[in-house]
């Protein structure tokens, strides 16, 4: 994605190239000094001057052909970068909204975890109390059973003793 700093650098590059093009055009428009035969200069300079003039005319012709499409492309590029920046800003806003909603969901989940942990701790304590009471009740039940067993044994012994006393008297 192109940011505005990239846009500025592209525009600066394009304006610099425009400035160079204008300087070349101004140089082309300046009249070349007319050489007179009385000037004692070699023939090679005239040829190089003619070559420079021809090359500047050629470059001016190429620029005249290529400049309108380049200007159109430059405008389209500015428009595209502007649209990209708008989309980037919109996406950033949406991402922020999603981040905020996710943070809210995360906070809700953390609150649920805290509440469930408290419930779990409370249930665990209740289960430990139930286990302890069950253990105590089993111990008491064992003691009661042992006491009843002893009482039953004593009763049996007493009954057997009475029967033995009755049996020994009846003879």
68, two tokens: 């309108």
Say what the pLDDT of residue 5 is: 55
- pLDDT > 90? residue 162: no
List, for residues 13-34, the tens digit of each pLDDT value. Answer: 656 655 555 555 555 555 444 4
Distance in angstroms (rounded) separating the CA atoms of residues 35 and 50: 11
Domain locations in the chain as residue ranges: 4-27+51-169
Q: Does the model's pTM come out above 0.85?
A: no
90, two tokens: 């919109």
List, for residues 90-118, the tens digit of each pLDDT value. Answer: 999 988 887 888 888 889 999 999 999 99
Hey, how many other C-beta atoms are within 10 angstroms of the C-beta on 169?
7
**Is-contact 20 107, C-beta < 8 A?**
no
Cα separations (Å) of 64 from 24, 74, 94, 120? Answer: 13, 16, 46, 82
């Amino acid at each position: 994605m192109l940011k505005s700093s990239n846009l500025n650098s592209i525009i600066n590059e394009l304006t610099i190239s425009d400035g160079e093009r204008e300087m070349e055009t101004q140089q082309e428009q300046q009249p070349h000094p007319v050489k007179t035969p009385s000037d004692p200069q070699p023939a090679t300079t005239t040829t190089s001057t003619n070559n420079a003039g021809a090359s500047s005319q050629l470059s001016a012709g190429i620029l005249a052909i290529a400049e309108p499409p380049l200007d159109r492309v430059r405008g389209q590029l500015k428009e595209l970068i502007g649209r990209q920046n708008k989309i980037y800003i919109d996406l950033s806003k949406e991402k922020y909204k999603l981040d905020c909603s996710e943070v809210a969901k995360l906070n809700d989940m953390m609150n649920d975890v805290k509440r469930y942990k408290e419930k779990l701790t409370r249930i665990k304590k209740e289960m430990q109390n139930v286990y302890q009471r069950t253990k105590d009740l089993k111990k008491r039940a064992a003691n009661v059973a042992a006491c009843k067993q002893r009482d039953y044994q004593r009763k049996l012994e007493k009954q057997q003793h009475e029967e033995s006393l009755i049996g020994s008297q009846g003879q």
